[in-house]
Amino acid sequence: MKPADIAKMINHSILHPTFTDEDLKRECEIAKKYKVATVCVKPYHTALALEILKDSDVAICAVIGFPHGNSTTQLKIEETKKVISDGATEVDMVINIGKALQADWNYIQTEIERINQTCLSRNAILKVIFENDFLPDDTTKIKLCEICSNAKVAFVKTSTGYGFVKNNEGTYSYKGATEQDLKLMRKHSDSSVEIKAAGGVRTFDDIIKVRELGVTRVGATATIAIMEEAAKRL
């Protein structure tokens, strides 16, 4: 394994709500320097990211229905069309979490299938974000893996990075990509469906650990630290 192999696992995340155009430019330069797989950007930043990265092989991944998944299916489809027309070749969508919690699987399946077809018809791929912190049991996660496998999406993804769960005392907690969830998602997804870990993957050792669990992509903000350590150890 070489540092370049690690780089091509990384979707460099540029999704913080406070990020400006200048922040996007800075983070895209980091992505170019380390030759990561993609930058992961907010929808309105898609076109600008494409312009910044036009002379590199770093691709554009845009999020839709982000971060809570509550847009209507039709709005998610229109958002998908827009980000692809602006230059995204990968789309990360958040499921309708409430519908998953009430086990409205027809709704979930129909939405995923329609958005996946929208992507495929435009030469893009779809990653489906479960937001596992909001899902209380493995049964729900397994069902989502099965639906995504049947729909033949490209990836299933653990989290947005922003799925903060409110505790009884009013504070918020977040687990992100746990080892248990990654093992479960790999086990219950078709072999053609890849796994993306997001939330809590911050170090070179973290990437090696999730890679051994079958993960092929990670959402990361700590790209510099990860790649500098990879250069030292590989």
What is the tens place of the pLDDT at every residue in 9-29? 999 999 999 999 999 999 999
Residue 152 annotated to the active site: no
172 confidence band (pLDDT: 50, 70, 90): confident
Structure tokens at 85: 């027309």
Phi, psi for 147 (deg, rounded to 5)? -65, -45
What is the β-pairing status of strands 125-129 and 38-41?
A: unpaired
Check 76, 81, 92, 127 and give the catalytic one: 92
Residue range 54-98, pLDDT digits in tens: 999 999 999 999 999 999 999 999 999 999 999 999 999 999 999
Residue 209 annotated to the active site: no
Helix axes 204-212, 223-233, angle to 10 degrees: 80
The contacts of residue 62 (CB under 8 Å, 6+ apart) are 40, 41, 42, 43, 45, 46, 83, 84, 86, 88, 90, 91, 92
Q: pLDDT at residue 223 above 90?
A: yes
b (16+ CB within 10 A) / e for 203-226 = ebebbeebbebbbebbbbbbbeeb
How far apart (Å, rounded) are the C-alpha atoms in residues 188 and 148? 10
**Domains of the chain (ranges, CATH numbers):** 3-233 (3.20.20.70)
Please give the pLDDT value at position 76. 98
Check 42, 76, 81, 157 and give the catalytic one: 157
Longest CA pairwise span in the chain (Å): 50
The owner of tokens 């930043």 is 45
* Three-class DSSP category at 93: strand
Check 76, 81, 141, 196 and give the catalytic one: 196
Closest CA to 219 of 13, 62, 5, 7: 13
How far apart (Å, rounded) are the C-alpha atoms in residues 5 and 2? 5
Q: pLDDT at residue 165 above 90?
A: no
Q: pLDDT at residue 168 above 90?
A: no
Q: Which residue has the higher pLDDT, 19 or 165?
A: 19
Please give the pLDDT value at position 197. 98
Residue range 80-91, pLDDT digits in tens: 999 999 999 999
- Find the helix or strand (DSSP H, E) in which 51 lies: helix 46-52
Helix axes 73-85, 105-120, angle to 10 degrees: 20
234 confidence band (pLDDT: 50, 70, 90): very high
Residue 229 CB burial class (10 angstroms; 0-12, 13-18, ≥19): middle
Residue 166 annotated to the active site: no
State the chain's mean pLDDT as an integer: 97
pTM of the model: 0.96
How far apart (Å, rounded) are the C-alpha atoms in residues 35 and 213? 24
Q: What percentage of the chain reaches a pLDDT higher than 70?
A: 100
Tell me the sheet residues that pair with 197.
Answer: 218
Phi, psi for 78 (deg, rounded to 5)? -65, -40
Q: pLDDT at residue 164 above 90?
A: no
Q: Residues for the chain: how many in total? A: 234
